[in-house]
Amino acid sequence: MANVSANMAGTVLQVLVQAGDQVSAGQDIVVLESMKMEVPVQAETDGTVEEVKVSIGDFVNEGDSLVVLK
């Protein structure tokens, strides 16, 4: 399993995947908003979304788990 983590602190603006979705390395899966900038978080590997751990509006810190891939 691969854990996709936040690369900076911010608010979850968009969740672009749901459990069961196939993703490719480099695909945007979550968009964070920090200091009025939209920052996409990308999958680091190909896989299937096993769990989405955040919802729109959640505040996350750098390193927090966003999505689990298998």
Give this prediction's pTM. Answer: 0.92
Domain boundaries, the chain: 2-69
What does the pLDDT look like over 22-36, one tens digit per residue?
999 999 999 999 999
At residue 41, the 3 state secondary structure works out as strand
- Surface-to-core class of residue 53, CB atoms within 10 Å of its CB (0-12 exposed, 13-18 middle, 19+ buried): middle
Q: Which residue type does 40 have?
A: P
What does the pLDDT look like over 37-57, one tens digit per residue?
999 999 999 999 999 999 999
Q: What would be the CATH architecture of the domain defined by 2-69?
A: Beta Barrel (2.40)
CB 59 within 8 A of CB 31: no
